[in-house]
């Protein structure tokens, strides 16, 4: 895959992420206190590090499942088509569901996934996004919980890629093209 030359500037340290994940887990524990029906759904691939850290902080009985969606721009309608590339393995009817997203950017992906999962009749459905870029939003959607609001930058690390690289960085950095 072609990549333009770039450097990465640290935006959010590993330590700051860990502290925020711990705080978010506490809020989720309170919101879902007493449940024995929680399924945490990670949106592949960008959320895999976040979901791994988040579920290890959650002192609740949880199941974990994954969904992979991909969104494509459609210049004719200035909208996006969201396709499901990998569906959940399990049923979510009557269950409590927490959808875990890496970044809410335009919002098309999260909106589509919420619509799809709501149609399957969960008892409750909430969402969490590690990062939110509100200035990029094209559809009216906000995750129940957000880790960090960030400016309109292209970011990598902590599961998030640039052309499939940099998912393994322990921090979030912004990509700065050098040419």
Element (H, E) at 120: none
106 belongs to the binding site for ligand IMP (CB under 6 A): yes
| 148 burial via Cβ count (<10 Å: 0-12, 13-18, 19+) | middle
Which residue from 28, 32, 51, 102 is in contact with ligand IMP, where contact means CB under 6 A?
102
CA distance 171 to 156: 8
CA distance 155 to 174: 4
105 belongs to the binding site for ligand IMP (CB under 6 A): yes
Which residue from 50, 66, 108, 145 is in contact with ligand IMP, where contact means CB under 6 A?
108
Q: Which is nearer to ligand IMP, 109 or 122 (CB)?
A: 109
Least distance between ligand IMP and beta carbon 34 (Å): 31
Least distance between ligand IMP and beta carbon 105 (Å): 3
The token duo for 148 is: 């960090």
The token duo for 168 is: 């393994």
Residues that bind ligand IMP (CB under 6 A): 46, 71, 101-110, 154-155, 160
């Amino acid at each position: 895959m072609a990549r333009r030359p770039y450097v990465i500037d640290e935006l959010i340290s590993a330590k700051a992420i860990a502290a925020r994940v711990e705080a978010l887990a506490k809020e989720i524990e309170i919101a879902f206190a007493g449940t024995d029906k929680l399924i945490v759904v990670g949106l592949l691939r960008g959320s895999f590090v976040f979901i791994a850290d988040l579920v290890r902080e959650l002192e609740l009985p949880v199941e974990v499942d994954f969904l992979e969606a991909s969104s494509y721009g459609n210049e004719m309608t200035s909208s996006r088509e969201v396709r499901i590339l990998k569906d959940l393995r399990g049923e979510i009817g009557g269950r409590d569901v927490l959808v875990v997203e890496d970044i809410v950017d335009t919002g098309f992906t999260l909106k589509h996934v919420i619509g799809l999962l709501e149609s399957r009749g969960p008892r409750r459905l909430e969402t969490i996004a590690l990062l939110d870029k509100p200035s990029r939003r094209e559809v009216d959607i906000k995750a129940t919980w957000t880790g960090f609001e960030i400016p309109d930058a292209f970011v990598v690390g902590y599961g998030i890629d640039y052309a499939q690289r940099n998912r393994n960085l322990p921090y979030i950095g912004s990509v700065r093209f050098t040419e």
